[in-house]
Amino acid sequence: MKIYYTKLQLYNLLITFCMLVIFSQFSKEVTTCFFMFLLVLLFQILTPSVRGFRFDWYIRCFLVVVPYSLPFLFGYPHSFNTSFSVWKVFLMIILILLLLGIQYKRIRPLFDKDIIAFLPRINKYEFGYSLFTAYGSAIFQELFYRGFVLSITLPTLGYYSVLISALLFVSDHFGNRHAAKNFEIQDYIYHFVLSIILGLTFISTGKWEICALGHAIYNTIYVVHRYMLFKKEVFVTT
């Protein structure tokens, strides 16, 4: 089995390992987070190498979610006993929509019929994988970065834990092959802002599931674009 990796992924691993060594002297909670995040990065490198046999696609999908699910072994995620109210959810949704609105000029070409006509049509399996990556990542990444990272560091670091979870969230996308090919620096900034919004939402509501909803809303732009490629004959007029 040949291992595929990029320089950026190796830099990510090296930096994370250094942070793990540094924080091991100060905070057990943050050390645990960096150790678990190190596993996420390792799986990012190893998972694409699992190919060349029957059902390899299903195994890769399973391996994608494994490192994000490991917090279950530690009894996470935790739900806090905070005063939940619907207006907090609406506020999160409004902030996410505003974040998408700021990107309007960059997003608009994704739905341009001439551009859709130029791009290749995707099949149902490719569209299914788009659904998995968009909404699966929303669930499992929020389980990890809010339900685990924030939960375990919040009692010790307070609101600084929001910053740590946001930095790890962005670093995760630095190591992602799809993001490395398609993201620009603005995309990483927007993801950092998104993570801050979701982190504050988690602290105020105490429920990572609400953060997963917000993350899914943000990713829906990508899903709609992929659906238009799947149903080109409906959206592209001749």
Q: What is the DSSP letter of 103?
A: T
What pLDDT does 141 receive? 94
Per-residue model confidence (pLDDT) at position 10: 82
3-state helix, strand and coil shares in percent for the chain, rounded to the nearest 5: 80, 0, 20
Contact 151, 78 (CB under 8 A): yes
H helices of 28-150, where?
Answer: 28-46, 56-69, 86-102, 104-107, 113-118, 124-131, 137-144
Residue 79 has what pLDDT? 59
Beta-carbon contacts of residue 88 (< 8 Å; ≥ 6 apart)? 201, 204, 205, 210
pLDDT for 231 equals: 86
The pLDDT assigned to 13 comes to 84
pLDDT of residue 169: 94
User: How much is the pLDDT for 54?
Assistant: 76
Whether pTM > 0.85 for this model: the answer is: yes
Cβ neighbors of 209 (< 8 A, separation 6 or more) are 142
Return per-residue pLDDT of the chain as tens, 238 residues: 566 667 777 888 888 888 888 877 777 888 888 889 999 988 888 887 877 777 777 888 888 889 998 887 777 766 565 666 888 999 999 999 999 999 999 899 888 888 888 888 888 888 988 898 899 999 999 999 999 999 888 888 888 999 999 999 999 888 777 777 778 889 999 999 999 999 999 999 888 999 999 999 999 999 999 999 998 877 766 5
- Give residues with Cβ within 8 angstroms of 41, minimum separation 6: 9, 12, 13, 16, 172, 175
The structure tokens listed for 130 are: 């788009």
Domain ranges of the chain: 7-235
Bond preceding residue 155 cis, omega within 30 of 0: no
pLDDT at residue 15, as a whole number: 86
3-state secondary structure of 4: coil
Would you say 175 and 9 are in contact if contact means Cβ atoms under 8 Å apart? yes
Structure tokens at 120: 């290749």
Using alpha carbons only, how large is the chain's radius of gyration in Å?
19
Amino acid at 29: E
Q: Determine the Cα–Cα distance for residues 52 and 30; give it in Å rounded to an integer.
A: 38
The predicted pLDDT at position 80 comes to 60
